Structure 1
Amino acid sequence: MTKDEMDKVATFAASRGKLMSLAYRMLGSRAEAEDVVQDAWLKWHLADAGTVRTPAAWLTTITVRLAIDRLRHLRMERQSRATGWLPEPWLDGIAPSAEDEALRSSAMSYGLLLLLERLTPDERAAFVLHEAFDCDYADIARMIGKSVANCRQIVHRAKLRLQREGDGRRADRKPEPVVDPSAHAQVVERLRAAIEAQDRAQLLRLFTEDAVVLGDAEEVDAGAAIASARWVDQVSSSVHAAGAVTINGMSGVALLSANGAITGLVDVAGVSDGRIVWLCVVSSAGNLREVNATWGARAVMRLLKRIGRAEPVMC
């Protein structure tokens, strides 16, 4: 490998965490984000690095444009599905990767990631770049190929649309006040404990009367008490255990089968007065494939076997 090739590899490696985090927020899928970042690497590998004044900005621009193109195709595919679709959750690692660190530094809750699905690809790109990565409008304009004034208007319009969509998800109720992380974590822990104990009565008490439950594996009736009661009955009869996890930087719950496989990830996306108003349940095999590969029982067993084979350290 030549020095120029090694420099290219090093430059890309330094930006990869940010690119992965950006692509994930744009696409709502870790696998899709990895594909986009791989495509960005191929373009960088073929580019004449000598003509690129700011490699990090060049890579960010390429990634944004690839993600916008990919999102346009994905929106059509997701809208045509018979079942629901939810973003793929991102679980924090015990030993955070560069992607995990980049995700934390530009934190967006899972609930907000879900609302971003309502935006057009250009709106989503501009909003994510401005709100999560603190890019100014001149940089955003260069990346998405629009004027500065247009980008400012796009972000403003996206904020209004997200506010409208967020307010409307609860049957035109007023928006709930922002809940601090500790209060949110307490509600999540009560939910986890009730699931673990299979306490149906306590589970039902955790939901407001007009709570909304969204799922990705099947059509979930967003009919207030009916939806929450139906989900409570399902989780009470099928879940073997429930563990605490961190989903997109916030407390969540992992539903476990008897063999230790993760069968669902539960995100409490809305809370009011200590009760759940909006719940997201990710349980499709596709969205849980990466999670189980990293955190499921089989992954843990593989890790234990590697540890068991390791040579003892001599002091």
Structure 2
Amino acid sequence: MAEKGPISNFIEHHYKHFNSAALVDAAKGYESHLLENGKMMITLAGAMSTAELGRSLAEMIRQDKVQIISCTGANLEEDVMNLVAHSHYERVPNYRDLTPEEEWALLERGLNRVTDTCIPEEEAFRRLQGNIVKLWKGAQEKGERYFPHEYMYKMILSGDLKEHYEIDPKNSWMIAAAEKNLPIIVPGWEDSTMGNIFASYCIKGELNPSTVKSGIEYMTWLADWYTKNSGGKGVGFFQIGGGIAGDFPICVVPMLYQDMEMPEIPFWSYFCQISDSTTSYGSYSGAVPNEKITWGKLDIKTPKFIVESDATIVAPLIFAWILDW
């Protein structure tokens, strides 16, 4: 095992109790899983790309610390938006105090707010739109169909965006993923900005919905991938936030076990969730990991961790531990 760096040493020295101790336990569990030749899925909900998680996640990808990602359409596109429009983003530290009139003023300036960060519509969304629409139309003309992330990979690897890069490319997790052709699952892509744009072209009759592969096709692809990769130590599940990014892929195990009648299929072999959701009102995002046992997702013996805190604080620290920073 490599010698730990200053961040990891700080974590081990100070993080002894409560959520900080859970963070250390989860990081050590992740590390052990990889050392025993296990594979790991990371799921990204919320606005992790706008939070610039790529600063640590990209290196996790480059060093093969993650083998597959499930993310929302927003996270898929917002990493690339930050890549090409970073200087046009605006931070609003006093976002809690904004009046409806001040929010409207941001809209009129073409700024779409995500908590304390405003994404510039013209520079971010529209800069990508022309490139991605060409890829959609080109595929349709050839009778080809691809997944949402595959179109994004094609756009990145074409080099057409390079002249617009405004951050160090090493901090873009999508560039790292594209260069490795990392498997990505994007459930519910339709509710993203690019998904909305694609839908608008379908409504106008310029594109067919089938030109972009669907969520059902993502699930069938994942079922095949999981079946082929769950041997040995198995596949772990590292969930950042809640929502569809985690809910969708974790269900592949009970689907294979129950609906495909494959009783030999292994459960997820590690589970960690970073969440600030509480266990109330039937909240799945706030459910403790043991609830997943009843749904056939986790085994009694699966290492289970939950860190109830801000993912923008916790995830980079866990990644730092795994990267020996």
Q: When the two structures are superposed, what TM-score results if normalisation uses the length of structure 1?
A: 0.29
Q: Which has the higher helix share?
A: 1
Larger-Rg structure: 1
Q: When the two structures are superposed, what TM-score results if normalisation uses the length of structure 2?
A: 0.28
Q: Which has the higher contact order (CA 8 A, sep 6+)?
A: 2
